[in-house]
Amino acid sequence: MRFLEKSRGVAVDTICYDLEDSVTPGKKAEARSNLQSILSRERVSGIKEQAVRINSVDSGYALDDLTQVLKAPNLDALVIPKVNSASDLHFVTDVIRHALPERHGPDAKSPLRLIALIESARAVMDLSAICKASPYLSGLIFAAEDFALDLSITRTPDLKEFLYARSAIATAARAFNLPSTIDLVTTAFRGEQGQQVLKGESEGGKRMGYNGKQCIHPSQVELVQSIFSPSQEEVDYAMPKVEVLGR
C-alpha cells in the first residue's frame, strides 16, 4: 500500500496499476482490495488517467479482478493483457456492461476505456478483428518482451526484430481510429546512457506512428513526454494558413 500512496505524487498522463505479473497468486485478493481503495479516493491533479491492468482472460483471475476494481469510482481505463483474439475483449466488454451499465452506451458521460496489450504473433495476425471487438477499445500497447518470448527471438538495441509487429500495430490503430498507440518499454533507463537509449527508442516510435510510450520508472517520464509532445515546427505546420491578397 505504501507504493500505491507514493504513486499519487507523480505527474503523468496515465498511471497503470498492475494486478498481473507483479502480483503473486496468493496476493491477488489483497491487491484488488488495495486498488479499489486507492481508486476510491479523491483524484490528484498530476494524474490525468487512472488505469488498472487486470489478469488475462484465460488466467482464471480476470472476472474477480473486474468484479472488484469496477467498484472504484475513479477508474478511467482497463488494460487487458495477452489479447490474442476478439473474444478476450468481448468477455471484458460483456462483464462491464452488466456490472457498470452507467459507464457504457451512447449516453454515458465518461465511458470506461479499454486498452489492449498486443503480446503474441497470433494477436498481430488478428489485429483487424481485435480493433473491431469492442466499441470501448481506445488503444493498443505493444508488449515487446512477451512478444519476443512468444517468437523465441532476442531483443537487440536496434529493435529490427520488432519492425513488422510495431508497424502493424501502429497501422491498425490508425486504420480503426483508436486514439492511443503505445510503444514498447525501454528497459534501460539509468544514467546518461539509459536516457540516450530512451530518447532514440522514443523518437523511433514516434516516427512509426506511435503517440505514447510505456514507462517503467519515473525518471523516464519527462523525456518521453517531451518527445511525444508536438514540436514547435509541428504546431506551426498545423496552424491555419492565411493568405493576404493585394488588390
Cα separations in angstroms, 156 against 79, 129, 218? 26, 30, 24
Residues 6+ apart with CB under 8 A from 212: 13, 180, 181, 182, 183, 224, 228
The superfamily (CATH) of domain 2-238 is Phosphoenolpyruvate-binding domains (3.20.20.60)
10-residue mean pLDDT series, the chain (247 residues):
81 93 95 94 92 96 95 95 98 92 71 95 98 96 97 96 98 97 92 94 97 93 93 70 58
Q: Are 217 and 195 in contact (CB under 8 A)?
A: no
- Determine the pLDDT at residue 245: 57
- Determine the pLDDT at residue 145: 96
Q: Domain segments of the chain: what residues?
A: 2-238
- Determine the pLDDT at residue 109: 73
Chain Cα centroid distance, residue 173? 12
- Determine the pLDDT at residue 84: 97
Q: Is residue 199 packed enough to be buried (19+ CB in 10 Å), middle (13-18) or exposed (0-12)?
A: middle
Point out the annotated binding site.
53, 119, 146
Please indicate, yes or no, whether the overall pTM of this predicted structure exceeds 0.85.
yes
- Determine the pLDDT at residue 148: 98
Point out the annotated binding site for Mg(2+).
119, 146
Point out the annotated binding site for substrate.
53, 119
